[in-house]
Structures are given as structure tokens and as C-alpha cells.
């Protein structure tokens, strides 16, 4: 049996008057470690939650990769490209691709008797995956849109509905301007809300056929092809392979293809998420510093209070190294208890938010109405391990204080 560990356990469990000074210091050290760990766990889980929610919403609107007309990216205006069955077959054959869908855009205005609003009409076909929008549908339904006939139906956002005072089943006129003014009458089929203002403010869904006719494009011309990959992390690899197939290639109408990931299409969103990483690193550094400082101060108090004990141990033949190990073992027990309570509070708070949604947010600012959390046990274990290692390393230098204590003087120390 490890004698130093045995002595450290006895000291840690001691509850007599001799520890009336060190016991509060130990409790403060435990609290410092627990609070620091809980804050770190909550911070990491919140950032992971934000990244997951915002990335899922942005990808839900634009998939992970898009094949577009180079001119539409350069001019920020919808331009057509030819999408053939052979092109679709090449895309489906790329490893990591799980779904593809055509889309078509047309800028216009929705107008009621009292209000009007600029919109981006997005036509989608029968292959459109409506899972994302259906999960954010507040009223009505998301119809099965066609690419061969007009349905006369649209799905609008809650923001558009409120601005124009529209509800499900209401009729609304849409105006589109090119060389002449074109008018269409639509029926509101559904209302969605994702809290992503960049999309909710203008994006309106209808059938692919109507949008193509409004643009006066050929039946095989569309604004682009959305490519859904296995996950967001796989999008860059898929995009690289698609670039080799399509970038700098032209279609039968002389239009050039370009492949872009969702990160390239919406860089401001992902830049904001990257800034959250910086905040988390600052919080982690501060909390580890707080935990380390409380442990150092606690260890120094414990060593000074047990000067008599150290003198006796030295008189009995204990070396400075073995005594340092006793106090380091003692400190690890204190840190371990702090980690235990930190995990209880940190993980408990994350689970409470995950299932109860206690803490609310302003959706217009943060894109979500409750604080999103994602509990990743790998990160939790890594934070625990890093906190333990850093705290123990920070205690090595203070533990050398025992070498300055002399047996003859310390035995008489009160």
C-alpha cells in the first residue's frame, strides 16, 4: 500500500479542531474548482448547441453544397444553368452525397391592399426535401410542389405574414419586373418561422414550374442544384470533388458552373460562430486560472497549518519528496471532490436547459428563442482531465514549501 496516499486520505478525512483553519480553505478550493468546471462545461455545451442549431438552419435553407451559375455569384442576381440527367448522375456518384434538388429564384414583390414587401421567390420541385421547413412550420402545410404545372400556392415566413397581415388560405398578388410587369395570384398554403432573419425576411417558396416561367428560362434551366452531404464536415470534401467535375465548365447555353459550400455562400453566419470559439477559450482560461489560484492558496494554508505535522514526519525520517507527495495527493482529493460537484452542477444545468428550455433568448438577435445546448461527453471528459492536470501542475511549485520547514523549529510551532 502507498504510505503517502494513506496518510493523505487520513488528513483529508480529518474533522477535528486542528483543521479549523484549513477546512474553510479546503471548502473554498472545492467551490472554486466546482464553479470553474461547471462554467466551462456550460460554456462549451452552449457554443456547441449554437453551432449545431445555426449550421442546421443555414444548411436547411441552402443544403451543404450548391452548383450555381458563376454570373449569379458575381452579380448577386439569379442566372440560369443547365441541369441535365447526366450532370445529376455525376453528382449522385460523388461519395458523401445523400440528396440533390433543383431550385429556381425570382425577385419580386408581394402586395396586399394595405402593404407590400420585396421577396425572393424560390421554386422547388417534387424532389425537394421539406423536412427542415416542415419542422419549423407554424401554420398550414408544405404542399407537394410540381415542376410541370403551376399550383398557385406559396409558403411564406412568419415575418412576411406579419408584415403583410396574411394568414393561411389568404390570397395575395405578386409582381415581377423584367422587360414588363408580370402578375401572379397566390394562395398562402403555410407559414414557417426559423428566426434566421436573412431568410425569413424575404424567402417565399412555390413550385419550380411557376418560377421557371417567370424567368422565361428553358425547361432544363434552373438557378442551381443543392447538394446535401452526410454532414456539414463532409461538405468541403464533396465540394472539392465537384469542383474537379464542374468548375470552369460551360453548359449548352454557354453558362459557366461554379461549386460553393454553404460556408462560402453565407460567410457572415459562420464567422459569427467562429467568434464564439474565441469567447469560449477566454472563459476556459479564466476558469482554469480561478481554479488553480484557489487550489494554490488552499494548499499553502494547509501546509502552513500543518507545520508541526511536517516537522514530526521529518523527525521520523520522511524525506521532503515524500511529504510533498502527501500534500499533492491531498490536493488531488480536493480537486476530485470539486470536479465531482462541478460535473453535477454543470451537466445538470445543461440537461435542465436541454429538456426544459428554462433560459430564453431574443430570437431577432441570436436566431433562436432558447439557449441551445449540445452535451458532448468527449468534451466534458477532456475539460475534466485538463482541469485536473493543470491544477496539479500548478501545485508542484508551492509544494516545495515543505523543504523550508525545519524539524527542530516546526515541532514547537503552534
Single out the residue in 230, 256, 286 at which a domain terminates. Answer: 230
pLDDT at 264 over 50: yes
Residues 163 and 280 occupy one common structural domain? no
How many residues does this entry show for the chain?
414
What's the Cα-to-Cα distance from 47 to each of 179, 234, 236, 365, rounded to whole Å? Answer: 48, 20, 22, 15
214 and 309 in a single domain? The answer is no
- Shared domain check, 75 and 215: yes
Same-domain status, 86 and 191: yes
Q: Retrieve residue 68's grid coordinates.
A: 450555381
Same domain, 72 and 207: yes
E strand spans, 216-264: 221-222, 224-229, 257-261
Q: Can you point out the beta strands (E) in 36-115?
A: 65-69, 81-82, 97-111
**252-259 mean pLDDT:** 91
Residue 243: CB partners within 8 Å, gap ≥ 6? 259
- For position 74, what pLDDT does the model report? 81
What pLDDT digit, counting tens, does each position of 125-166 carry?
999 999 999 999 999 999 989 888 988 999 999 999 999 999
240 part of a folded domain: no
φ, ψ of residue 347 to 5 degrees: the values are -65, -40
255 in a structural domain: no
Judge whether 119 and 111 are in contact, CB under 8 Å. no
> Both 133 and 154 in a single domain?
yes
In a domain, 241, yes or no: no
pLDDT in tens, 298-343: 777 777 777 777 777 777 777 778 878 887 888 888 888 999 999 9
Do 43 and 83 lie in one domain? The reply is: no
Q: What is the pLDDT of residue 409?
A: 55
How far is 327 from 296, CA to CA, in rounded Å?
11
> Within 13 A of 319's CA, how many CA atoms are on the CB side?
4
Higher pLDDT: 23 or 329? It is 329
Rg of the chain over CA atoms, in angstroms?
32
Residue 19 has pLDDT above 60, yes or no: no
Task: Tell me if 356 is assigned to some domain.
Answer: yes
For residues 272-297, give the mean pLDDT. Answer: 85
Asked if residue 79 and residue 221 are part of one domain, the reply reads yes
Residue 264 lies in a domain: no
Domain count, the chain: 2
Q: Is residue 250 part of a domain?
A: no
**What percentage of the chain exceeds 90 in pLDDT?**
46
Model pLDDT, residue 17 = 46
In-domain check, residue 256: no
Task: Report pLDDT for 365.
Answer: 79
Residue in the structure block whose three cell numbers are 451537466: 347
Q: What pLDDT score does 18 carry?
A: 47
For residues 166 and 326, give the distance between their C-alpha atoms in angstroms, rounded to a whole number: 73
Greater confidence (115 vs 22) lies with 115
Residues 72 and 110 in one domain: yes
**How far, in Å, CA of 100 to CA of 230, rounded?**
12
Question: Closest Cα partner for 35 from 358, 349, 365, 374?
Answer: 349
Query: pLDDT (tens digit, 9 = 90+) per residue, 3-18?
Result: 777 777 777 776 554 4
Domain annotation covers residue 251? no
* Mean per-residue pLDDT, 166-188: 91
Q: Are 51 and 95 members of one domain?
A: no
The model carries a pTM of 0.82
For 380, the domain range is: 3-57+269-410
Segment 71-127, tens digit of pLDDT: 888 887 889 999 999 999 999 999 999 999 999 999 999 999 888 999 999 999 999
140, 130 Cβ separation under 8 angstroms: no
Please indicate, yes or no, whether residues 184 and 289 belong to a single structural domain of this protein. no
Amino acid at each position: 500500500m502507498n504510505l503517502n496516499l494513506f496518510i493523505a486520505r487520513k488528513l483529508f478525512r480529518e474533522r477535528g479542531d486542528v483543521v479549523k483553519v484549513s477546512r474553510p480553505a479546503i471548502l473554498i478550493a472545492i467551490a472554486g474548482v466546482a464553479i470553474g468546471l461547471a462554467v466551462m462545461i456550460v460554456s462549451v455545451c452552449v457554443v456547441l448547441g449554437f453551432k449545431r442549431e445555426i449550421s442546421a438552419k443555414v444548411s436547411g435553407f441552402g443544403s451543404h453544397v450548391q452548383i450555381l451559375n458563376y454570373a449569379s455569384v458575381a452579380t448577386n442576381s439569379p442566372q440560369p444553368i443547365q441541369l441535365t440527367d447526366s450532370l445529376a448522375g455525376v453528382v449522385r456518384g460523388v461519395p458523401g452525397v445523400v440528396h440533390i434538388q433543383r431550385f429556381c429564384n425570382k425577385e419580386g414583390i408581394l402586395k396586399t391592399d394595405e402593404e407590400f414587401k420585396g421577396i425572393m421567390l424560390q421554386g422547388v420541385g417534387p424532389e425537394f426535401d421539406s423536412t427542415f421547413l416542415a419542422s419549423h412550420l407554424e401554420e398550414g402545410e408544405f404542399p407537394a410542389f410540381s415542376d410541370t404545372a403551376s399550383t398557385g400556392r406559396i409558403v411564406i415566413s412568419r415575418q412576411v405574414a406579419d408584415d403583410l397581415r396574411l394568414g393561411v388560405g389568404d390570397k395575395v398578388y405578386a409582381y415581377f419586373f423584367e422587360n414588363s410587369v408580370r402578375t401572379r395570384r397566390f394562395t398562402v398554403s403555410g407559414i414557417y418561422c426559423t428566426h434566421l432573419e436573412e431568410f425569413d425576411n424575404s424567402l417565399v417558396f412555390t413550385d419550380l414550374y411557376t418560377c421557371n416561367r417567370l424567368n422565361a428560362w428553358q425547361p432544363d434551366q434552373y438557378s442551381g442544384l443543392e447538394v446535401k452531404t452526410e454532414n456539414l464536415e463532409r461538405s468541403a470534401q464533396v465540394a472539392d470533388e465537384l469542383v474537379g467535375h464542374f468548375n470552369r465548365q460551360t453548359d449548352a447555353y454557354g453558362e459557366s458552373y461554379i461549386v460553393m459550400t454553404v460556408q462560402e455562400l453565407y460567410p457572415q453566419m459562420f464567422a459569427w460562430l467562429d467568434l464564439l470559439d474565441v469567447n469560449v477559450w477566454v472563459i476556459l482560461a479564466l476558469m482554469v486560472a480561478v481554479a488553480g489560484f484557489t487550489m494554490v492558496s488552499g494548499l499553502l494554508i494547509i501546509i502552513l497549518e500543518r507545520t508541526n505535522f511536517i516537522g514530526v514526519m521529518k523527525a521520523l525520517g520522511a524525506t521532503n519528496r515524500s511529504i510533498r507527495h502527501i500534500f499533492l495527493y491531498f490536493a488531488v482529493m480536493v480537486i476530485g471532490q470539486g470536479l465531482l460537484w462541478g460535473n453535477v452542477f454543470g451537466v445538470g444545468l445543461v440537461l435542465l436547459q436541454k429538456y426544459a428550455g428554462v433560459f430564453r433568448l431574443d430570437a431577432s438577435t441570436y436566431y433562436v428563442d432558447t439557449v441551445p445546448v449540445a452535451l458532448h461527453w468527449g468534451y466534458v471528459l477532456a475539460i475534466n482531465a485538463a482541469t485536473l492536470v493543470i491544477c496539479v501542475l500548478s501545485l508542484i511549485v508551492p509544494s516545495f514549501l515543505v523543504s523550508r520547514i525545519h524539524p527542530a523549529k516546526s515541532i514547537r510551532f503552534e
